[in-house]
Amino acid sequence: MEFLAEVPAQVATKECGGGGGGGTILITVNLHLDNKQIELKGGNGANMTAAGFFKVGPGGGGGAGLLWVSNATLPSNINLTATGGLNGVCTDYSNNPWGATQGTAGSNLLNLLIPIDNTPFKPNIDSLKIKDSLLSCSNFDFNGFGFTNTNPISTWQWYFGDGGTASTQNTTHTYTQGNYAVKLIITDINGCKDSVTKNIFASTLTMDAGPSDTICAPGSSLLQASSIGAIQYDWAPAVFLNDPTILNPTATPPTTTMFYLTATNASGCSGVDSVLMNVRSLNNFSIDAAAPICLNKSVQLNANGGDLYSWQPASSLNNPGIFNPTASPRITTTYSVLVTDTICGNASTLSTTVTVLPLPAVTAGKSNDIDCSTAQSQLNANGAMQYSWSPAASLNNSNTGNPIASPAITTQYIVTGTNAAGCVNYDSVTVKVSADNKGGYLMPTAFTPNNDGKNDCYRIKYWGTILELEFSIYNRWGERVFFTRNPNDCWDGRYKGELQNPAVFIYMIKAKTTCVNEVFRKGTFTLIR
């Protein structure tokens, strides 16, 4: 076998051209039996004939080609010629090449391996399915199911058979009556497609269970239903109908009842509608039990079943001629109402009692007023179970019956008391604040921190309302064992958690009160155990 690849040189008389390349030959053969002459020579460059143009360059020689074999060495019975093409010359200038050169020699490569895929082709799309369900007789819900081996479906295209289309996986479509071929085409990310077609039938069914009606018990009414396309009817509840399988049965319900009609056409498509039959009788009349109320509160009464209402006694009602007046009695009162059904001529008198609960007898008091020596007042309330005081800002606890008040100005405190029934009443007390009874701003000379409940903590007393404070206590070595800015704090005789031995201590107080702009006191006192 002999392979020959040669590109002939181009020749031009008035313009030059380079020689063509030798090309490439690939050989994948295990055993070479015959001698092979393979030439991969480059083409010769074109000569230039251009007398009078002086140095017009000829064409360069084309490079030789490439031989690539699958063997580890070049077989001995392959004779390869891979020489470059000759360069052209300028014939009118003594064959001067004017810089054009011969083409380069070719070469060969070994161990050629041409990749071959030995994995059998497997389609990505395995199967496709359409699932349809009726939303109504002519309205369908379509779901597409595309099963793939590897890559997902990228596009969904529906053709509904009536000119309509959709491009989502799941869709709905409404038809006129008739047969239609629904087609779904899917495309995966490789551009591969699959399709499936399904025939469907759209039928017509319209129905109306009819208007609501009112029956005077023990009466009956013909149900005024209508339908187009139905051949079968089923009413429920059937027990109150003379024939639940016809379009217009006679209903005799004992009480107000909702009737449901299911109509089915020849294709098996069905629809459901309902109609309410109101039944008027003495059994319809009712009155709700009234909830108890606290004195000075109101409650809404409620009666039903008629179209005229007349309540008594009317004096404590906002409107005695409606079904749900608001009652505001001062004492426990029984209300009666005449309920009349003017359509059927029925009437009945019903009653309910509103219990009026008493309010708690709330009283408020105080221990004292506030002056330059007394900074606090004990408030107290009685007569209820729960209490709430206001204003709360100057109280230590506004939700107790006996809070501590520390007002800076004269203040009226209002207490809200609630009893076990939830009824509420109010009272108030005023704590006066004056600049009277200025004391000497003295301090105790001793205290006994022995936990007997008497004189156990060294504190400031009888200084009135303190607005600013720096209160320090030092031992005899000058160590500060206590400091506070809170007038309610006191020293319990401990330093760094340790009980202090009986000794003399020094206090130093700088304060501002509502009566004195600046107070400074320094002195000693004795800790006694």
Given this model, what pLDDT does residue 290 score?
Answer: 96
Given this model, what pLDDT does residue 4 score?
Answer: 38
> Token match 């749900």: residue?
324
- Is residue 106 located within the same domain as residue 173? no
Burial label for 518, CB within 10 Å (0-12, 13-18, 19+), is: exposed
- Is residue 276 located within the same domain as residue 289? no
**Does a structural domain hold residue 441?**
no
- Is residue 50 located within the same domain as residue 93? yes
d(CA 223, CA 23): 96
CA-closest candidate to residue 301, choices 270, 244, 339, 245: 339
Is residue 401 within 8 Å of residue 385, measured between CB atoms? no
Q: Assess whether pLDDT exceeds 90 at residue 491.
A: yes
- 471: domain CATH number is 2.60.40.1220
pLDDT digits (tens, 9 = 90+) for 467-481: 899 999 999 999 999
Radius of gyration of the chain (CA): 56
**Does a structural domain hold residue 228?**
yes
Given this model, what pLDDT does residue 5 score?
Answer: 38
What does each C-alpha distance from 41 to 104, 159, 178, 292 come to in angstroms? 10, 62, 76, 119
- 327: domain CATH number is 2.60.40.10
Burial label for 97, CB within 10 Å (0-12, 13-18, 19+), is: buried
**Does a structural domain hold residue 307?**
yes
Given this model, what pLDDT does residue 11 score?
Answer: 36
d(CA 90, CA 12): 11
Averaged confidence pLDDT in the chain: 90
Burial 68-82 (b: 16+ CB within 10 A, else e): bbebeeeeeebebeb
301: helix, coil or strand?
coil
53 pLDDT band (50/70/90 cuts)? low
CA-closest candidate to residue 162, choices 199, 134, 204, 206: 199
14 pLDDT band (50/70/90 cuts)? very low
Given this model, what pLDDT does residue 494 score?
Answer: 96
| Domain termination residue (choose one: 328, 357, 386) | 357
What does each C-alpha distance from 441 to 108, 367, 434 come to in angstroms? 118, 22, 17
pLDDT digits (tens, 9 = 90+) for 136-157: 888 899 999 999 888 899 999 9
**Does a structural domain hold residue 151?**
yes
- Is residue 8 located within the same domain as residue 110? yes
- Is residue 102 located within the same domain as residue 13? yes
What one-character DSSP code corresponds to residue 177?
S
Task: List the helix and strand counts (H, then E) for the chain.
Answer: 0, 43
Over 445-512, what HEC string results?
Answer: CEECCCCCCCCCCECCCCCCCEEEEEEEEECCCCCEEEEECCCCCCECCEECCEECCCEEEEEEEEEE
d(CA 285, CA 302): 11
Which stretch, 11-15, 359-363, 436-440, has highest mean pLDDT? 359-363
* 297 vs 203 pLDDT, higher one: 297
pLDDT digits (tens, 9 = 90+) for 442-463: 999 999 999 999 999 999 998 9
Interval 292-321 mean pLDDT = 96
Phi and psi angles of residue 377, each rounded to the nearest 5 degrees, phi first: -135, 135
Domain residue limits at 98: 1-116
The reply to whether the predicted model has a pTM over 0.85 is no
- Is residue 134 located within the same domain as residue 110? no
Is residue 233 within 8 Å of residue 245, measured between CB atoms? yes
**Does a structural domain hold residue 176?**
yes
* 423 vs 216 pLDDT, higher one: 423
| Domain termination residue (choose one: 55, 84, 116) | 116
- Give the number of domains in the chain: 6
> Token match 């396309």: residue?
229
Q: Beta-carbon neighbour count of residue 280 at 10 Å?
A: 22
* 182 vs 206 pLDDT, higher one: 182
In this prediction, what percent of the chain has a pLDDT beyond 90? Answer: 59
- Is residue 479 located within the same domain as residue 518? yes
